[in-house]
Amino acid sequence: MKAVDFALDLIFPKICQKCGVEGNYLCSQCLSEIKPPTMFCPECDKPSTLGLVHPVCKKQNTPLDALMVAAEYNEQAVRNLVWQLKYNSAKTVSEDLSVLLADFLVTQNILDHFADFTLASVPLHKTRLKLRGFNQAETISKNLSRKLGLRYLELLTKLKKTKRQVDLTLEQRVENVKNVFQIINRADTPKKILLIDDIATTGSTLLECAKVLKKAGAKEVWGLVLARNK
């Protein structure tokens, strides 16, 4: 065991955050009990199966084709794991969180739809990346990529540091992420992309990322997050 892993086990041992059993941060029994919430169209924010954009909303040219949410935000175990990953540098937590996303795709019977998709993640600005040491969305995405046998590519970069979305109003959130993302290599942009993040608020960040990806040539961009704090 690496020294950093040993230290992490002392600070945050591998105990299920829902029932307390040892072995994983989220045991298989508790994982099966976590159900996805009602999902909403990312354009009109009205209920929609799998968070798909309503046919009438597609006329608004929204860049995101769907915003899928794997768990309820009030699921304390999931929120605790995301917090440990983001703010306590518990990088190994990403393994269990990627299992949650994989389980969501399987139980919703939509895994086959993404067979020819490329996974990508919402990027961090270099300042925050340096402080944290890793991008939590990227680590989750890479683990999910290995589990599903799908390609992962680093497609986007963040040009400037932004305020935390959760602290802002709806209008401020949209403005906060406007024009802050950029494609890394336009020639390498896949046609179908599954864009991963940890927690979504209004979905403004995912929408802005999807806009950049669509301009670079992507035909389909689906968002997938662990939970949504509206």
CA angle, 155 then 187 then 141, to 5°: 20
The two counts, helices (H) then strands (E), for the chain are 8, 6
* Residue 21 in domain: no
User: Can you give the pTM of this predicted structure?
Assistant: 0.92
* Residue 68 in domain: yes
pLDDT of residue 133: 87
Confidence of residue 111 (pLDDT cuts 50, 70, 90): very high
pLDDT of residue 1: 45
C-beta separation of 135 from 121 below 8 A? yes
* Residue 5 in domain: no
* Residue 155 in domain: yes
The rounded percent of the chain whose pLDDT value lies above 70 is 95
HSE-up of 15 (CA within 13 Å, CB side)? 9
Residue of 25, 58, 30, 23 whose CA lies nearest to 44: 58
Which residue shows structure tokens 């307390």? 20
* Residue 169 in domain: yes
pLDDT higher than threshold 60 for residue 153:
yes
Query: What mean pLDDT is predicted for residues 115-123?
Result: 97
Q: Which two tokens stand for residue 78?
A: 């999931």
Confidence of residue 87 (pLDDT cuts 50, 70, 90): confident
Which SS3 state, helix, strand or coil, does residue 196 take? strand
* Residue 4 in domain: no
- CATH number at 183 reads 3.40.50
Q: Which domain holds residue 123?
A: 36-228
User: How do residues 161-187 score in pLDDT, each as one tens digit?
Assistant: 887 777 777 777 778 788 999 999 888
Q: Which two tokens stand for residue 162?
A: 């932004």
Confidence of residue 2 (pLDDT cuts 50, 70, 90): low
pLDDT higher than threshold 70 for residue 9:
no
**Structurally, how many domains does the chain consist of?**
1
* Residue 144 in domain: yes
HSE-up of 29 (CA within 13 Å, CB side)? 8
* Residue 201 in domain: yes
